[in-house]
């Protein structure tokens, strides 16, 4: 099967997004690979458009050779910077935007970038000495995209803006793996920084659950909202927050296959940004095989997950305040010598 740009159209998302005069549905059209590098894993590219109209991607990356079991994401990772004249690519690699900082923090990973209040804001996760239990969130700020980043004013000296809480009244006080996977929005005059924690599940096991921290200023400080915002019974991962028509949405990985296979994703909706009900949550996207066909992946290498190509780390580029392109990562690769990669989908409404 030969893959043609724009040739394969995704299923309609099961959730409707409210528009001014009528209800429309979001549709995905597969475009192709967004970012990849020979000898490297490229994971979870987050897009932003600069003042000249160029699109920049910030992605986690690490060598395929150092950790053969994919664990390089929390041991040997850095954040790479890519740029293109078009949201559809091709994207040119510019270099490393955030390095491992050794004594300050290790393995910067899962970046998400926004342009808010005239500032570029880059959030990502780090750890200490390759220990997953020490995960925390860093916020960097800059006036341009020349990678002259500085820690947010309301953060700690190294940029740490959210840690596992010490207050036992906070929902993730007993989190097993710290806090991770941030996503930032400005909503009704407040700044909402969403984040994941893995919390104990009764009577046993763990639940991948989301919360939010709130600030009155872009650069913080960010104060944790005490209650979890998603139900532990319907688990999610890699949630990306965006606003549209007075609602807040999370696009996430369907971590346990609540509404389909684990290779796809979910779309959550909230009227206030603090409560996301599973009853209104719908299927968002499927695995890579759904879009490119089984034959295309027949001889692929699965570095992570199955050969059907789990799609993870949803990140959205909005144009004129409306979602326009979706970027997703997969651990399945058809090109010899290349690791995991980022794929791009065009978003339209009908």
Q: Does the structure show a pLDDT above 50 at 9?
A: no
Polymer length of the chain? 350
For Cα atoms 221, 226, 229, give the angle at the middle one, nearest 5 degrees: 105
**17: confidence class by pLDDT, cuts 50, 70, 90:** low
CA separation for the pair 88, 81 (Å, rounded): 16
Q: 249-266, pLDDT tens digit by residue?
A: 999 999 999 999 999 999
Q: Does the structure show a pLDDT above 70 at 1?
A: no
- Residues 274-284: b if buried by 16+ CB within 10 A, e if exposed: eebeeeebebb
Using CB atoms within 10 Å of the CB of residue 67, give its burial: 0 to 12 exposed, 13 to 18 middle, 19+ buried: middle
Q: Does the structure show a pLDDT above 50 at 345?
A: yes
Question: In the predicted model, what is the mean pLDDT of residues 24-50?
Answer: 95
What does residue 181 show for φ and ψ, rounded to 5 degrees? 50, 65
Res 11: pLDDT: 43
Q: 167-199, pLDDT tens digit by residue?
A: 999 999 999 999 999 999 999 999 999 999 999
Q: Does domain 9-349 have CATH number 3.30.70.260?
A: no
What does residue 66 show for φ and ψ, rounded to 5 degrees? -80, -35
Q: DSSP readout, 249-304?
A: EEEEEETT-TTS-TTSEEEEEESSSS---GGG-EEEE--HHHHH-TGGGTT-EESS
Question: In the predicted model, what is the mean pLDDT of residues 102-129?
Answer: 96
**350: confidence class by pLDDT, cuts 50, 70, 90:** confident
Q: Does the structure show a pLDDT above 60 at 8?
A: no
Res 347: pLDDT: 97
pTM of the predicted model, to two decimals? Answer: 0.95
Q: Where in the chain are the domains?
A: 9-349
Res 16: pLDDT: 57
CA separation for the pair 66, 258 (Å, rounded): 34
Res 203: pLDDT: 87
Mean pLDDT of all residues belonging to the chain: 93
């Amino acid at each position: 099967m030969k893959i043609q740009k724009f040739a394969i159209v995704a299923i309609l998302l099961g959730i409707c997004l409210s528009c001014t005069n009528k209800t429309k549905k979001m549709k995905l059209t597969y475009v192709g690979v967004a970012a990849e590098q020979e000898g490297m894993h490229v994971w979870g590219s987050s897009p932003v458009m600069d003042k000249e109209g160029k699109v920049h991607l910030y992605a986690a990356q690490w060598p395929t050779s150092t950790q053969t079991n994919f664990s390089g994401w929390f041991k040997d990772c850095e954040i790479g910077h890519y740029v293109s004249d078009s949201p559809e690519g091709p994207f040119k690699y510019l270099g490393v935007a955030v390095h491992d900082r050794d004594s300050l923090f290790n393995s910067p990973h899962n970046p998400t970038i926004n342009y808010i209040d005239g500032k570029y804001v880059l959030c990502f996760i780090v750890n200490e000495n390759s220990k997953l239990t020490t995960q925390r969130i860093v916020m960097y700020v800059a006036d341009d995209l020349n990678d002259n980043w500085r820690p947010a004013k309301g953060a700690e000296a190294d940029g740490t803006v959210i840690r596992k809480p010490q207050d036992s009244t906070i929902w993730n006080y007993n989190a097993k793996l710290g806090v991770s996977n941030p996503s930032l929005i400005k909503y009704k005059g407040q700044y909402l920084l969403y984040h994941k924690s893995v919390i104990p599940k009764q009577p046993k096991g763990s639940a991948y659950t989301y919360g939010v921290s709130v600030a009155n200023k872009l650069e913080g400080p960010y104060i944790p909202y005490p209650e979890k915002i998603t139900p532990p019974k319907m688990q999610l991962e890699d949630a990306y927050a965006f606003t549209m028509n007075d609602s807040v949405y999370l696009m996430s990985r369907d971590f346990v296959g609540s509404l389909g296979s684990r290779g796809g994703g979910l779309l959550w909706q909230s009227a206030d940004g603090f409560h996301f009900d599973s009853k209104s949550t719908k299927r968002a996207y499927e695995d890579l095989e759904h879009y490119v066909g089984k034959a295309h992946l027949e001889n692929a290498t699965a570095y992570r997950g199955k050969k059907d190509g789990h799609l993870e780390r949803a990140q959205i580029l909005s144009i004129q305040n409306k979602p326009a392109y979706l970027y997703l990562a997969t651990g399945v690769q058809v090109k010899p010598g290349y690791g995991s990669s980022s794929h791009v989908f065009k978003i339209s409404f009908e």
